[in-house]
Amino acid sequence: MKKMLIILFFFIFLSSLAKAEWTIQKENNEFENKKSTYIISEKAFPNKKLSFPYENTEANLIIGCTKYTEWVYFFFNSVNLNFDSYGDNGDLISTVSVKVGDRVYEVEVNFEIGSNFVMLNKSDNKRMLRYISDNNSIMVQFDHHSSGKRHFNFNTINFQNTFKENCI
């Protein structure tokens, strides 16, 4: 009996470690009378260190929402991404790979020079939200200048509940 309780306790302890912690930030813009909520993942790190001076790069997956819309983006503590083209507004545009289970998809991102925010193209938001909601993790591969392709594994456990509690 004692052995069974120890095994049960150990199992409960391990299952609690698997739960992702999401940080919630709320913003109230009184001027525009708009309320936004941001759901922020735990930090993720590249599968291999980047070259100097980017060897300490880390990223968060962020989902923003208002009463009527949601959007997905990534925050990097330092950005050194390669890009494919320029957008109409001068933003840099790149294609990144998203691995969900055994399948790999491509999505378009854009970012401003000097910004730490890498925004998902609006046309890919709904699909990406589905990937995040339906899976315990997603891997996103970015092409970094001078370091090549690196992927970040984002823990998405409990996202669906967090999203429902804060965005719907």
Q: What pLDDT, on the 0 to 100 scale, is given for residue 107?
A: 97
Q: Tell me the DSSP string of 79-111.
A: --B--SEE-TTS-EEEEEEEEETTEEEEEEEEE
CATH number where 64 lies:
2.60.40
Residue 95 belongs to some domain of the structure:
yes
Residue 3 belongs to some domain of the structure:
no
Number of domains in the chain: 1
Radius of gyration (C-alpha) of the chain in whole angstroms: 18
Instruction: Please tell me the distance from the alpha carbon of residue 39 to that of residue 73, in angstroms, as a whole number.
Output: 11
Residue 6 belongs to some domain of the structure:
no
Q: Whole-model pTM? A: 0.85
Q: What pLDDT, on the 0 to 100 scale, is given for residue 90?
A: 87
Q: What pLDDT, on the 0 to 100 scale, is given for residue 67?
A: 86
Q: What pLDDT, on the 0 to 100 scale, is given for residue 73?
A: 97
CB–CB of 57/76 below 8 Å? yes
Q: What pLDDT, on the 0 to 100 scale, is given for residue 131?
A: 97
Provide the residue range defining the domain that includes 96: 22-167
Residue 12 belongs to some domain of the structure:
no
State whether the Cα torsion 7-12-15-17 is positive or negative. negative
CB–CB of 129/63 below 8 Å? yes
Q: What pLDDT, on the 0 to 100 scale, is given for residue 2?
A: 44
**54-102 pLDDT, tens digit each:** 999 999 999 999 988 999 999 999 989 999 999 888 899 999 999 999 9
Q: What pLDDT, on the 0 to 100 scale, is given for residue 114?
A: 87
Q: What pLDDT, on the 0 to 100 scale, is given for residue 26?
A: 96
Residue 11 belongs to some domain of the structure:
no
Residue 124 belongs to some domain of the structure:
yes
Residue 134 belongs to some domain of the structure:
yes
Q: What pLDDT, on the 0 to 100 scale, is given for residue 168?
A: 76
With a CB cutoff of 8 Å and minimum separation 6, the contacts of 23 are 39, 40
Q: What pLDDT, on the 0 to 100 scale, is given for residue 116?
A: 96
**Positions in the chain short of pLDDT 50:** 1-17
Amino acid of residue 135: N
Residue 46 belongs to some domain of the structure:
yes
Backbone φ/ψ region at 12: left (φ over 0), alpha (ψ -120 to 50), beta = alpha
CB–CB of 107/121 below 8 Å? yes
